Structure 1
Amino acid sequence: MTEHQGRTVLGEDTVTELADRIEGSVFAPDDTGYAAAIAGFNLRSRQRPCLVVAAAGAADVRAAVGFAAARDIPVGVMATGHQPFPAEDGFLLVTTGAMRNVEIDIERGVARVGAGARWSDVVEPAQAEGLAPLNGSSPLVGVVGFTLGGGLSPFLGRSYGWAADHVVAIEVVTPDGTLRRVSAEVEPELFWGLRGGRSNFGVVTELEIGLFPVTSFYGGGIYFPAEHAEAVLRAFPEVVRDAPDGFTCSVALLNFPPVPEIPEPLRGRFLAHVRVTHLGSDEEAEKLIAPFRAIGQGVLDTIGRHPYSAFAIVHTDPADPFPYEEQGTLLAELPAKAVDSLVEIAQMAAGGLVTVLEIRHLGGALADRPAAASPVAARNAVFNVWGATVGPPEAVDAGMAVLGGMIERLSPWSTGLTYTNFAGRDDRAENVFTADDLARLRALKRRYDPRNLFRVNNHNVAPE
């Protein structure tokens, strides 16, 4: 192993030695397939690992981690590559996209999920048994990264809480190359830290996650034209103020590009998208959203009774990879002055460089703190604000400057922290964990990863 212009370069014999131990694939920077192996959903990723191990199973992960640890090479993990992280060079990347096994244990109400599984892989077999996971808005997001980042479900979260709190067991390869199965009873401190600390302590190869008896919901979205954006934002606090836990609502301000992939009613327009999910009756849901209905007709309305497997209809997240940056903040309250600021932000956003700005209602079971609560810093927040910009580098950079200003306007009501899965490229551990949780995570890091090998593609918890 040598250093060349600051980059780690591995000899051919060394790479061959590892490849001989791997069932999956190994790629060096000059290999055919390397570019495809490092490509994630977010096309803004600029990482250039010295080696990629496309793991076929836990044994491959063990071999890759052991190889890296013996040579003091940092290790990063990627399943789907949705979240942006700082550009990195000279590390070993373990990709888990091939590990998409899913088993449903009906009696226990648990899904056993491989490291590369996406929510689409889990929802369908779970629904066949009348059960649903605490999934996110997109079918394409990886289950492990989502869950170990806290797991904010816009469908079941307010009813059942954070996905991280409903993890039953974790199989993880720690920096010493050991495959461990941890739970609330076995190595409970590591179990606690993984459920929020993501890949800071090793490569998770499987999760066991809780499932819930939900087969349908009443909801969808209403896209209001720009002239109704203020009315929508002012109605939002009224709608969610006394809403039951089974009701979840958010409002997204959207600048749709004028491209053929966007449906005609939405193409090239600035819209306020009301997003609704309700686990109660249709009639109760319609009473709750009556203030939105009173505003006027939307250009597109998908609200109705849907099977849970159609959950993607609510947020309609993009299906194809694209380049983007994101940033977010957590709000402790949403008083009238904060709503005034949101209205001003909407006026700034219309036709501008910020692609999406969403404010989502939290609370309900998301505010609960179980006895073995995972390190999720959003429990005290009542709303989450998240935004993103999409496009070529110069447009994204300019859009992020605007988005940063928008989020700064909401700082008087912020908790000072950001929800892990909505954090931006420049956010650090101090931005996503409370001070107490971070101190405890650092102690855990000193125990399991004192060399800080797992410092890539995460909000790094340094051991010092």
Structure 2
Amino acid sequence: MSVTTPEEHIPPTRTLDVTELGAAVAGPVLTPEDADYATELAGFNAAGTPAPAVVVGATSAADVAEAVRYARANGLRVGARATGHGAAIDGRGYLMVTTARMTEIHVDPAARTARVGAGVRWRDLAPATAPHGLTGLAGSSSSVGIVGYTLGGGLSPLGRQFGYAADRVRRIELVTADGIIRTVDAGAGSDLFWALLGGRDGCGVVTAIEFELLDLSTIYGGGVFFAGDAAEQVLHMWRDWAPTLPDTAGTSVAILRLPPDPTLPPPLQGQTAVHLRFTYTGDPAVGAQLLAPMMSAGPVLLQNVDVLPTAALDAVHMDPPGPLPSVERGCAIRDLPVEAVDAVLAVAGPQVASPLAIVEIRLLGGALAAPQGVPNAVTGRAAGYTVLAIGVPAGPLGEQAGAHVAAVNGAVAPWSAGGLLNFAGQTPAAELPTLWSAAEWSRLAEIRRRHDSTGMFSRLG
């Protein structure tokens, strides 16, 4: 997570000769003068456009190694980008490795494991695991890349029962600052393995991971959309109800400001709604009983709770499937008293004119509270909830998106318990170390210095 820009990695203004690099790698090598440069860098979050000096469209770990060696020889720092869901890397004078072409998938049904390349999204893996009744710990959207999601922790709607996705990783293949391809696990290179799982950035470019799969083909779950005017009642009922759930159930609640998009169900088009999300891995009849108390929380606009194949986990959160501009920031909180809910409603409730598309409160706890496999650097273990605000920097209030996102995070600051790295969003670089304990941050920083002494690697996008 080298989020600063060391001056030694900003070369003098000059034209870089990429001829030899282009001959050494199988994928494209592009500079800002090339016609395909912008297309190669396009990602899910359209709010920020990275501007590297060189882009390498890697097709393999060997391509990544060549790119890192070139960057080292030319005094460039290195970033990586798969789906572009994360914040754009700031600064100039760096080399970007795009990994979308690295789509290797190998599923071992007997061992219940999968090995995937750095460009694989959760939606790519599902067709290979579903026929065997298996699934990975995917997040709320299958358009997200598996590697970046997992290295940042990987919070799944099923996490309260099974932990973070990082808890299930067995091996990591990466290219380190010396341009060498390495494979690390909990035994060999365990300090690097620990730092990558939850620390995500600053040690190299990950090219593939191997992780355990779950023997789980279906769940009971989905969402209930309540009228926005009922936000106060729904959020306070949810605050009382959510902590009573068993670890086999997961839930979040979100205030949504939905666009007049004709692809949305008619009851939701152009509406402010409160979206209750719910998952349960046991008997559907028991799941319905667990959910029943919330069904009277307010007027229901739409509900889609049913038995779902795990490959259709997207139906729970119904996140936007395509690219859009956004600014976001999340934090973790210890507990959720009445005052915390009121604070969120005061700055983001339906009565506020706001560019916030989503303000979510998610229940944590259960298996998320401690590593479920090998030790790792995943943050937020002590938190009871996470709060996430996502604003759209477009439209009449677009310029205020960042301020409204900050207001939500500020409102719950009195109950702060750090945060989740994948939800950090626009958190200032100077504040990121506070996501870890002092001892964890010291260990993480020391491992990064040892494996990347000159700070070559930027955080992954």
Q: Which bracket does the TM-score occupy, shorter chain normalised?
A: over 0.9
Gaps of 5+ in 1: 459-464
Task: Specify whether residues 426 and 167 from structure 1 end up closer, same or farther in structure 2 by C-alpha distance, changes over 3 A only.
Answer: same
Aligned residues of 1:218 and 1:303 also touching (Cα < 8 A): yes
Aligned residues of 2:229 and 2:350 also touching (Cα < 8 A): no
Gaps of 5+ in 2: 1-6
The residue that corresponds to 1:236 in the other structure is: 238
The residue that corresponds to 1:369 in the other structure is: 371
Query: Secondary structure at 1:289's aligned position in 2?
Result: helix
- The residue type paired with residue 101 of structure 1 is E
Greater relative contact order (CA < 8 Å, ≥ 6 in sequence)? 2
Report how many aligned residue pairs link the two structures: 451
With normalisation by structure 1, the TM-score equals: 0.93
The runs of 4+ residues in structure 1 deviating greater than 6 Å are: none
- The residue type paired with residue 60 of structure 1 is D
Query: Secondary structure at 2:183's aligned position in 1?
Result: strand
The residue that corresponds to 2:421 in the other structure is: 420
Answer with 14-23 or 369-378: which moved more: 369-378
- The residue type paired with residue 424 of structure 2 is A
Answer with 145-154 or 333-342: which moved more: 333-342
Q: Give matches, 1:57-456, under 5 Å.
A: 57-154=60-157, 156-347=158-349, 350-370=352-372, 372-392=374-394, 395-415=397-417, 417-428=418-429, 429-456=432-459
State how far apart, in whole Å, the 2-side matches of 1:149 and 1:120 are. 18
1:29 corresponds to 2:62: no
Deviation of the 1:240 alpha carbon: 1.5
Deviation of the 1:362 alpha carbon: 0.4
Deviation of the 1:124 alpha carbon: 2.0
Query: Secondary structure at 2:277's aligned position in 1?
Result: strand
Aligned residues of 2:163 and 2:371 also touching (Cα < 8 A): no
With normalisation by structure 2, the TM-score equals: 0.94
Root mean square deviation, CA, Å: 1.9
Aligned residues of 1:222 and 1:300 also touching (Cα < 8 A): yes
Deviation of the 1:443 alpha carbon: 0.8
State how far apart, in whole Å, the 2-side matches of 1:446 and 1:375 are. 16
Task: Specify whether residues 346 and 48 from structure 1 end up closer, same or farther in structure 2 by C-alpha distance, changes over 3 A only.
Answer: closer
Deviation of the 1:186 alpha carbon: 0.7
Answer with 331-340 or 269-278: which moved more: 331-340
C-alpha offsets along residues 187-224 of structure 1, whole Å, 9 cap, x if unaligned?
11011111112131111111001101111111111110
Task: Specify whether residues 23 and 195 from structure 1 end up closer, same or farther in structure 2 by C-alpha distance, changes over 3 A only.
Answer: same
State how far apart, in whole Å, the 2-side matches of 1:63 and 1:427 are. 32
Task: Specify whether residues 178 and 30 from structure 1 end up closer, same or farther in structure 2 by C-alpha distance, changes over 3 A only.
Answer: same
State how far apart, in whole Å, the 2-side matches of 1:194 and 1:297 are. 45
- The residue type paired with residue 107 of structure 2 is I
Deviation of the 1:269 alpha carbon: 0.9
Aligned residues of 2:364 and 2:385 also touching (Cα < 8 A): yes
State how far apart, in whole Å, the 2-side matches of 1:275 and 1:336 are. 20
Aligned residues of 2:56 and 2:95 also touching (Cα < 8 A): yes
Aligned residues of 2:47 and 2:326 also touching (Cα < 8 A): yes
Task: Specify whether residues 266 and 102 from structure 1 end up closer, same or farther in structure 2 by C-alpha distance, changes over 3 A only.
Answer: same
Query: Secondary structure at 2:200's aligned position in 1?
Result: helix
State how far apart, in whole Å, the 1-side matches of 2:395 and 2:54 are. 26
State how far apart, in whole Å, the 1-side matches of 2:351 and 2:130 are. 39
Query: Secondary structure at 2:137's aligned position in 1?
Result: coil
State how far apart, in whole Å, the 1-side matches of 2:264 and 2:124 are. 26
Deviation of the 1:351 alpha carbon: 4.6
State how far apart, in whole Å, the 2-side matches of 1:431 and 1:262 are. 39
Deviation of the 1:93 alpha carbon: 0.2
State how far apart, in whole Å, the 1-side matches of 2:30 and 2:269 are. 40
Deviation of the 1:84 alpha carbon: 1.4
- The residue type paired with residue 456 of structure 2 is L
State how far apart, in whole Å, the 1-side matches of 2:156 and 2:351 are. 26
Answer with 20-29 or 252-261: which moved more: 252-261
State how far apart, in whole Å, the 1-side matches of 2:232 and 2:124 are. 38
State how far apart, in whole Å, the 2-side matches of 1:340 and 1:11 are. 55
The residue that corresponds to 1:47 in the other structure is: 50
C-alpha offsets along residues 56-98 of structure 1, whole Å, 9 cap, x if unaligned?
1111001000110112210000000101145322210000001
